[in-house]
Structure 1
Amino acid sequence: MIVKDEENSIARCLESVHDLVDEIIIVDTGSVDQTKHIARHYTEQIYDFKWVDDFSSARNYSFKLATKQYIMWLDADDVISKPNRKLLKQLKDHLDPVVNSVTMRYLVNIDKSGNPSFIIKRNRLVKSSCQFKWKGAVHEYLEVSGPILHSDISIHHFKNKTDNSTRNLQIYEKQINKGTVFSPRDLFYYANELRRHNELHKAIKYYTLFLNHKVAWKEDKIASCGRLADCYHLLDDQEKEREIIYKSFEYDSPRADFCCRLGNLFLGKNQVNEAIYWYKYASRLTWDKNCMGFYHVPSWTWLPHTKLSICYYKKGDFKKAYKHNKLALEYLPYDSGLINNQKLIKNKLKNLT
């Protein structure tokens, strides 16, 4: 782990994993709170690393300190739940040593019911002898090769604090000032930082530069189309928003989140039949479990059915509205809004008979 000022979360993280691993290595990049003091309850292997505006440097340093056959990495606001602890234990006991890397699902934006908004696959466990390296000063990634096992283990990400800092943006801009030539991935993540800080026109410029790179990763290109669509949406340019959504289809078959976005655009114009087409399309898609891209959970589960229920309600087809609201409830059985909608539509059906 690399950490800084994580006194509010590090104990929760380490408590969820400490008895499943053979060593815990903490690399601190400048904490001024109780982070290191808390970590010492779980390990004596705590090291200081002078921050050099480069996350990969810190992570690669932490990997060099590891002495076991495999290395697993976590952030301080990650947690392994009881069911996933069991899966991790099984993996540890039965992992085929031919495997170089194990992916685990990263669950992001957890709601009060424990449902994530996004699921991302990440290489979480790697063979030490492969000496895989982290790449990228910001939004770093672990470059792996060889046999990869896609596990069913999930890591829950619980963000304790809102990060409004410009730290990442400043790192990128320092690199620009030094004349650093950005990789395609750097262009993508720099554009993300610009968008996050509402520099929308500049973000559009860098997303476009990224999309023009032939060697960029397909999944980042698809994600870039989604972020570009966000920018155009915020600028109220629906024509460009729709255009970039369709462009995402050039890189792979349509994804449910983009289909739902098209449905939203048509529904916003009260073009209900066109909206129904795209929500139906989304509802029939199935996610490729080996895909390493961003999985927007609502779009692949309950959201298309909720929207279809609204569309059919607008058309006065209460039978279909009831059907799709019921399908949405199968994913979110305790959602008060869906429960109330079901009662409302049921009353409409009674009145018709």
Structure 2
Amino acid sequence: MVSISLCMIVKNEEEVLARCLDTVKDIVDEINIVDTGSSDTTVDIAKKYTDRVFYFEWIGDFAAARNESFRHATKDYILYLDADDVLLEEEQEKIKRLKESLDPSVDSVSMYYNAGLDEFGNVTLQYRRNRLVKRSRNFIWKGDCHQYLEVYGKIINSDIAVTHKKIRHSVGRNLAIYQKKVERGDVFTPRDYFYYGNELRENERYEEAIESYNKNIQMKEGWIEDKVYACINKADCFRFLGKEEEELYSLFESFQFSKTPRPETCSRIGYYFQRKRDFHSAIFWYKLATELDHDFNKWSFTYPAYSTWYPHLQMCVCYYNLQDFEKSYYHNEKAREHRPDDERILFNKELLEVKVG
């Protein structure tokens, strides 16, 4: 059986740290917590779980802090979590089984990151991360913001998921880090332009976000998946700005990188045609969104809503406008499978039951 060091960086996490550690304390063999300047009871809470609490001055660089946390690990493998992450009970059992069966020649085990949940417990954003890595390989974190762990060698993909349960969003924190990079005259990588675009978009600076996404798209270097979502996210910015033709062009632009459609793209194209009251075209794209296969080995972002309840709910609306109440009811019920207590879906159900008798 392999041994595992948990490595975490924390700052003012008194609301969530114990919740996180309670879900992992019986799995790992060592807990290393690096505090970067807490002014609340975070350190006191950490000391209830481990005597391996360390301090690192925050320098505005997440990669540097994560590398410091890895430096304290002593076991075979390193597992990293954020304080607002949890391992659900089923996932805890999966990791225990993995720990017993893992081939020591494996350099990294990727796990899903369920980065968001809706009010009904559905995953809203999922992607893979190299989550359990061999300590002896000395893998390094890179990037001062939206950092990544540079991993190579023998990597296996698991079905284990870490769930992110954020209490509040740090609006503007990451944007400020990128703006300091701009002020310093740092050279941006394609990845930097993509994530800077995301931060600008989240802060409703849509024109600037479009410019940053375009810089990512125009560079020959960079991960293709980032370019796919640069096109998609750019389309959202155009929609918010009321530039519908640019929106549609950006969605189709994503196909040159993805090669085949993604549910996230199809549902947005469907919504474009729905707004134009071209319901037949909208249905075509929504239906396609529900039919595309999920790739187990996909590493980039997946937004499950765009292949499940959302296109079904929109097809319910489209078919209602086409006066096909039976199909409208059918798709509303498909949406209800995922969101059984959604007031909109329950309203539709009551209305359509009268229509279909």
Shared fold (TM-score greater than 0.5)?
Answer: yes
- Percentage of matched positions with identical amino acids: 45
8 Å CA contact 2:116–2:126 kept in 1: the answer is no
Q: Which residue, out of 83, 87, 103, partners 1:80? A: 87
Map 1:246-261 onto structure 2 (within 5 A): 246-252=252-258, 253-261=260-268
Where does residue 211 of structure 2 map in the other structure?
A: 205
Find 2:178's aligned residue among 172, 180, 193: 172
| CA positional deviation for 1:296 | 0.6
Partner deviation per Cα, 1:266-321 (whole Å, 9 max, x = no partner): 11111111111111111211111111111111111121111111111111111211
State the partner residue of 1:190.
196
SS in 1 for 2:337: helix
The equivalent position to 2:280 in structure 1, one of 266, 273, 282, is: 273
Note closer, same or farther for the CA distance 1:46–1:264 as it changes in structure 2 (3 Å cut): same
Q: What letter is aligned with 1:35?
A: T
Contact 1:10 1:39 in 2 (8 A): yes
Q: Distance in 2 between matches of 1:339 and 1:196?
A: 31
Matched, 1:41 2:48: yes
Counterpart pick for 2:119 among 112, 115, 121 = 112
Aligned equivalents of 1:173, 1:333: Cα separation in 2: 43
Q: 1:156 aligns with which of 143, 160, 163?
A: 163
For the residue of structure 1 that corresponds to 2:26, the secondary structure is helix
Pair 336,204 (structure 1): closer, same or farther in 2 beyond 3 Å: closer
Contact 1:88-1:153 within 8 A present in 2 as well: yes
- Asked if 1:319 is matched to 2:331, the reply is no
Question: How large is the Cα RMSD of the aligned pairs?
Answer: 1.4
Corresponding residue of 1:214 = 220
Counterpart code for 1:14:
L
Asked if the contact 1:139–1:189 (Cα under 8 Å) also holds between the matched residues in 2, the reply is yes
Paired letter, 2:253:
K
Q: Which structure 2 residue ranges, 5 or more long, are not aligned?
A: 1-7
**Residue 337 of structure 1 corresponds to which residue in structure 2?**
344
Go from structure 1 to structure 2 and tell me whether the alpha carbon gap of 1:196 and 1:331 turns closer, same or farther (over 3 Å shift): closer
CA distance in 2, matches of 1:161, 1:200: 23
Separation (CA, whole Å) in 2 of partners of 1:333 and 1:177: 49
1:100 matches 2:107: yes
Within the candidate set 344, 348, 351, 2:355 is matched to 348
- The total of aligned residue pairs comes to 349
Measure, in 1, the Cα distance between the counterparts of 2:227 and 2:135. 31
Q: What do residues 198-234 of structure 1 show as CA deviations (whole Å, max 9, x unaligned)?
A: 2222221111011111121011111211221121111
What is the deviation of 1:168?
2.1
Contact 2:120 2:339 in 1 (8 A): no
Give the deviation of 1:162 after TM superposition.
Answer: 2.7
Of residues 187-196 and 285-294 in structure 1, the stretch that sits farther from structure 2 once superposed is 187-196
Displacement of 1:61 after TM fit?
1.0
* 2:292 aligned to which of 262, 275, 285: 285
Report which stretch shifted further, 332-341 or 276-285: 332-341
Q: What is the SS of the residue equivalent to 2:96?
A: helix
Gaps of 5+ in 1: none
Q: Is the 1:187–1:206 contact (alpha carbons within 8 Å) kept by the matching residues of 2?
A: yes
For residue 151 of structure 2, the aligned residue among 144, 147, 169 is: 144
- Structure 1 residues 333 and 161: CA distance shift in structure 2, 3 A: closer
Q: Contact 2:251/2:269 (CA < 8 Å) preserved in 1? A: yes
Aligned partners of 1:286 and 1:300 also within 8 Å: no
Report if aligned partners of 2:264, 2:303 keep a CA contact under 8 Å in 1: yes
Shift, 1:336, TM fit: 4.2
